[in-house]
Structure 1
Amino acid sequence: MAGVGFRLNKLFHRGGVSTDLLAVAYSIMVSSGPWIITTLSLWIILTIFRIDNIYFNVAIVYSFVTSIIVSGLFIMFESRRISDLIFSKDYKRILPEVMGILTYSSIIIILLMLIFFAFNNHELWFVISFSYLNLSLLSLWIISIASLSSDSVNWYILAFLIMGIFSIILSNYFGSDENPLGYILGYAFGVNIGTFVHYMIALVHFGSNKGISYDWMNEIPKYWQNIFIGFTYYLALWIDDFITWYSPHFGEIPLKGFHFSFIYDNPMFIAYLTIIPTSTMFILVLETRFYKTYKLFYDSLRQGFNYAEIEIREKNMLKELKYDINLVVRVQLAFTFSLLFLNEINLIPFVSEMLKPILRIGLIGAMLNSYYLMIVLLILYFDFRNTALYLNITVLIINAVLSYIFTYNLGYYSLGASYAFAFAFGTFIGYKILIKKVSNIIQLEYFRQNLAVKEGFYIDFKQIKKLMEEQK
């Protein structure tokens, strides 16, 4: 994100209203651009071109869900590994290792497809096209991480825009009501084109040693938590959907083995779109405000400042952290409550009277989810990987258990409540843990160090603090 922060600070320092608005727009595109473009392209395909084919609809929804959850096993680890290679200026190892990660993730997707279709018989054309779309989307998520890691942020957004345009054109060109195979493959080909552009961005920026590398596997024991952090978060995000899909009262089975819940999916999808303000504000405050105090604090540690100066910078960082979180919370809160009001007076499009109660809970749940994600990312900013993992597992379990209880016992008016409760709990606990850790960050960083001290001779943090205070 260094390139993003540089551009945002440059825009804000100009001091004009137009450049401030441009910085906000830039943050929106970086944080939510791929999501907006992908959603908009699908809306154009389904609404303007009126592609309403059950095979295409099923393939799109399940491919996105499956590829995102499987990619969650790798993208957090991949991001950390790329960061380490950039820090060590070992750029040419990035793409070969990314391709090695893609190889393993593709094997997992293929195995899942084999298991699923072994128990659910479908025509061969659908098996092949559905599996190919899964692999295409998985490749996009994995390779786009390498693209984003470059300084070519504008090209990164353009790659998704190219993907959206070609997926619209090719799905409409190859497909027809009599040929749903063309719809699925056409969309997948559009994704492939976008993926190729992401690959070229990374190739031009980093260069590459030829071939595929599996050296990243040597780092798994060091960063094993990252393997599960992304996976458990995405699973926590979707587990209530899965339980609702398979419930006898709210689930539907349009094709063998594929479950949906129209009454739950539509309002929850709209709710997910409402967290763009949090994503935007998080990027803005993180890269233009908080990072400055964060960097000053860690520079003081690395450069050996005296304890009093380090403590002042630690307090400034904590104060800035609280302020920035409060700012993001207030912006999203205002936006969400505006939408809740519009929902009550029937001014939100595509939402019928029947879906209003679910959207009401979904909007609150999405807001809480955005807060939770912000807290987890900040926890990871300080490299507390175990904490982030345990939080995700807790939220996953709470969402799964409550979703089952609510769906099977309380019924319609409780749909989405488990999602809201789980992320409310995760946000509250996560915030408390984050503030406590940052309040004691000097001590925690001290204990993280590998001190070259002879066995039997040591001095603990409290003694150092006391010595420093006596020398004042």
Structure 2
Amino acid sequence: MAGIGFRLDRIARQDGLGGIANAAFHGAVVSSGPWLMTAFAMFLLQRWTRTTMPPDDHAVVQTSLVYAFGVSTVITAPLAMIATRVASDHFYLERRDAIPSILMAALVWATLASLIAGNLLFGFVGGMRPGLFLLATAVLTLFAQIWIASPFLHATWRHRPIFLAYLAGIAMTALALAVIRPSAPAAVLAAIAAGLLVTLVLLISAIRDDFPNSPEWRANWFGRTPGLLALGAAGLANALAIWIDKWLLWWAPGSVQAVGALRVNPVNDQASFLGLLTMIPGLTLILVTTETRFDRAFAALMGHCTGAANLRRIEKARRHVARTIRIDLRLLTVEQAILAGFCWVLAPEIIRLLDMNARGMFGFRLTAVGVVFHLVAIQMSIILSYYDLAGRIVAVWGSFLLASAIGTILLRDSGFASFGFGYLAGAVTAASLAIGLVAQATGRLTYLLFVGNNPAVVGNNGLWARFWP
């Protein structure tokens, strides 16, 4: 479902420098909207609440946002992965009328999971007052629903409504804070929830404009899609890999018990989140350029395989796919490495301008470097998903998760100088494994398409079907 990627790619190609800037800007919003909204909220509140709220109330707002954003990504990742695959299958079969039903079912399940998580986190563990507990749970739930809707935006063809949705949400929150000037954490959380609600409604409206059919509740919305457990495991491992080092550092030196039994590490949380924001240009490049270019090359290969081409032409198309992968990998790596280099050199000034703790410089630098390898793993995982090799995607993100956890645990007591090392170790491990798996699969892609991963040959039944062909 890369429809909007092709639209932005065409704008970049045909409209000169202005088109490139326009495509890059809207690509960043489409690919990283929730990150941008959270970044705005976190850094605005860092300045706002410190001057208008007592430290304890500031901790409530900050902790609620940290947990709501991080936990929402984890609980929705398996659902989003499965829903995206099911929707892609229907989209390929030209069953566009099924897309609204798939989206509705995924939103319902995400809401249920979010309510359970919110009760456990903010009610039981955090021990918040009823009003704060309900608002924090609402923020978590709205984040989760936005995460579910985000992949469906890639299937749309109009980028401006998506930008307006995020802009309206940010404006709603900023306006509420500026006009009401709240001094209580409940009012601040209510303003954030209002902004998220506006964004969610407008995003769903944008999707419904391209898929206007009325949704119907289907208990078996996932249909007969094979390998559902593998898809869900891949999504869960992907989300956990991003956050595992941050969560482990909540029990490291420098961490604090912020709200009830909920813990945070203020120095690392801010630094690592700032470092992760450097992923936005790379995600934009993947959406606008590399994925669309690979999609064209892979579609040409599939056309040869399903048509009347001989083996020589099929192999020529396969080599073109491999060449496209190498070119795109080099482009992504160079672009992101340049950005990481700037962040490394300018880290002291960036930390000072944002009024952050200077000890977070280490975590910011290592996270920015780790993002280079993280993006490589993302791009290789997209290619593996085109090849329908879910087991290998699980291996990539599972290796990220394990390496990050081990690296963080080994250096957890070393203090702030080790912040970000676990994430970097996990990203390097995942990128190395992902490149190897893609190279191996691309080299034998013709065999996989015709025999090794062909459902007609190896079967297509079961939740773990064709896990590792």
TM-score scaled by length of structure 1:
0.87
User: Are 1:264 and 2:239 an aligned pair?
Assistant: no
Separation of aligned partners in 1, 2:456 and 2:388: 19
2: CA distance between counterparts of 1:176 and 1:34? 24
Q: Give the Cα separation in 1 of the matches to 2:257 and 2:7.
A: 48
Q: Which amino acid aligns with 1:139?
A: Q
Provide the residue aligned with 1:93 in structure 2.
98
Pair 1:282 & 2:286 matched: yes
Partner in structure 1 of residue 149 of structure 2? 143
The alignment's TM-score, normalised by the length of structure 2, stands at 0.88
Aligned residue for 1:198?
A: 203
Cα deviation, residue 228, structure 1: 2.0
Which residue does the alignment assign to 1:470? none
What residue number does 1:462 align with? none
2:170 is the counterpart of 1:152: no
Give the Cα–Cα distance (whole angstroms) in 1 for the partners of residues 376 and 190 of structure 2. 37
Rounded Cα–Cα distance in structure 1 between residues aligned with 2:310 and 2:249:
57
Contact 2:127 2:259 in 1 (8 A): no
Amino acid at match of 2:360: L
Tell me which structure has the larger Cα radius of gyration.
1
Show the 5 A alignment for 1:58-457.
58-116=63-121, 117-171=123-177, 173=179, 176-177=182-183, 179-219=184-224, 221-247=226-252, 249-343=253-347, 349-350=353-354, 351-408=356-413, 410-447=414-451, 448-451=453-456
> What letter corresponds to residue 134 of structure 1 in structure 2?
L
Specify the alignment match of 1:19 in structure 2.
Answer: 19
Amino acid at match of 1:24: A
Q: 1:344 to 1:56 in 2, by over 3 A?
A: closer
Cα 1:406–1:14 shift into 2, 3 Å: same
Contact 1:75 1:230 in 2 (8 A): yes
Q: CA RMSD in A?
A: 2.6
- Matched residue type, 2:384: I
Q: Do 1:137 and 1:191's aligned partners in 2 also have CA atoms closer than 8 Å? A: yes
Counterparts of 2:191 and 2:318, CA distance in 1: 53
Contact kept in structure 2, 1:232 and 1:396, CA below 8 Å: yes
Q: Quick check: 1:289–1:320 contact (8 Å CA) kept in 2?
A: yes
2:12/2:21 contact within 8 Å kept: no
Distance in 1, Cα, partners of 2:349 & 2:150? 40
C-alpha deviations, 1:389-445, integer Å up to 9, x for none?
Answer: 12211221221122112103x333222111111110110111011111111100111
Any idea what the Cα deviations from partners look like across 1:173-207, whole Å, max 9, x if unmatched? 56622x32222122112211211112222223212
Greater mean deviation of Cα atoms: 118-127 or 1-10: 1-10
Deviation at 1:309, TM superposition (A): 0.6
Out of 390-399 and 37-46, give the one that drifted further.
37-46
Q: Deviations over 1:119-140 (max 9, x none)?
A: 4433211222111221122122
Aligned to 2:359, what secondary structure does the other structure show? coil
Who is 1:457 aligned against? none
CA contact (8 A) 1:171 1:185 kept: no
Q: Quote the offset at 1:287 in angstroms.
A: 4.5
Structure 1 residue 210, shift from structure 2 partner: 4.8
* Secondary structure in structure 2 of the residue aligned to 1:216: coil
Give the match's secondary structure for 1:363: helix
| Distance in 2 of aligned mates of 1:134 and 1:43 | 18
User: Compared with structure 1, are the counterparts of its residues 348 and 221 closer, same or farther at alpha carbon in structure 2 (3 Å cutoff)?
Assistant: same
- TM-aligned CA deviation for residue 331 of structure 1: 1.2
Contact 1:236 1:396 in 2 (8 A): yes
Deviation of 1:172 after TM superposition, in Å, equals 5.0
Is contact 2:403-2:422 (8 Å) kept? yes
Q: What residue identity is the alignment partner of 2:448?
A: L
Taking every aligned residue pair, what percent have the same amino acid on both sides? Answer: 17
